Amino acid sequence: MAFRSAISLSFVCLVLLALAVGSNAGGIAIYWGQNGNEGTLSETCGTGNYEYVILSFLSSFGNGQTPMINLAGHCDPYSNGCTGLSSDIKSCQANGVKVMLSLGGASGSYSLASTADAKQVATYLWNNFLGGQSSSRPLGAAVLDGIDFDIEGGTDLHWNDLARFLSGYSKRGKKVHLTAAPQCPFPDAWVGNALNTGLFDFVWVQFYNNPPCQYSSGDIGNLEDSWKQWTSDITATKIFLGLPASPEAAGSGFIPVSDLTLTVLPAIKGSAKYGGVMLWSKYYDDQSGYSSAIKNSV
């Protein structure tokens, strides 16, 4: 009896240890939408590699502009050609994948002129992509899981207002997740004020095209220091390590699979805020197979 109890106790300890080790397992977020040769949205979610898919981009909005989505070669928004994505979005969500709409991008035309302008943009997003009602929803009837802030230009004004207005819609039913993709130099020049609201669920920090805080071969110090600052100074549910999915996906900052799995991830996964890895983008991931190679280590 005592022998069997000892075995049972050992088994329980092993199970608890496995749960503790697995509790900091992360997910992979992927940007999709800027290359028509990256497969469909449904195929992207069907790989099983991603927990979050970020549709990129709503590239024109604010300051009196008519909001316009740009999904490159996937569909033509000017002829309502992107409404067919509704079934793909629902398919993703049925597979447990959260689908976000990203605002901005590196080459968009966007800015917020005032608090009232931010409120107007939030209302537009709610009615056209989230849980509201509109006769002209660009992606059809599907209700997205949230809004991503990939602000890389314009000004830093009123993004905090936009975050507050969008967050307020969570009270109407389905939670509106807020995510952001700041650059790794801290604080981010564009969305630093917005992040200080503490309203963001997932923050995928771009540790690429930023040599002062990214990984360079064999030297993890700059990345680790920056990671510690982000995880300690930003109130968010989870922080993600944002990386290019292949050397061609960015000017600098690509981390070879072995360096990521053996050196970088072990150094940052101890953080309670570690959420996983964000990759730019699905097209480059298709070329490199990066997400498949790192998935079991994330």
150: Cβ contacts below 8 Å, ≥ 6 apart: 54, 56, 57, 102, 103, 104, 105, 180, 181
- Distances in whole angstroms, Cα of residue 67 to Cα of each of 55, 62, 124, 245, 269: 15, 7, 8, 29, 38
Residue pointed to by tokens 């900091």: 24
HSE on the CB side for 43, CA within 13 Å? 11
Candidates 38, 51, 152, 248; catalytic one: 152
Tokens 């570690």 appear where? 274
Asked about 152 being catalytic, the answer comes back as yes
Report d(CA 277, CA 264) in Å as an integer.
11
Peptide bond into 281 cis (omega under 30): yes
Active site members: 152
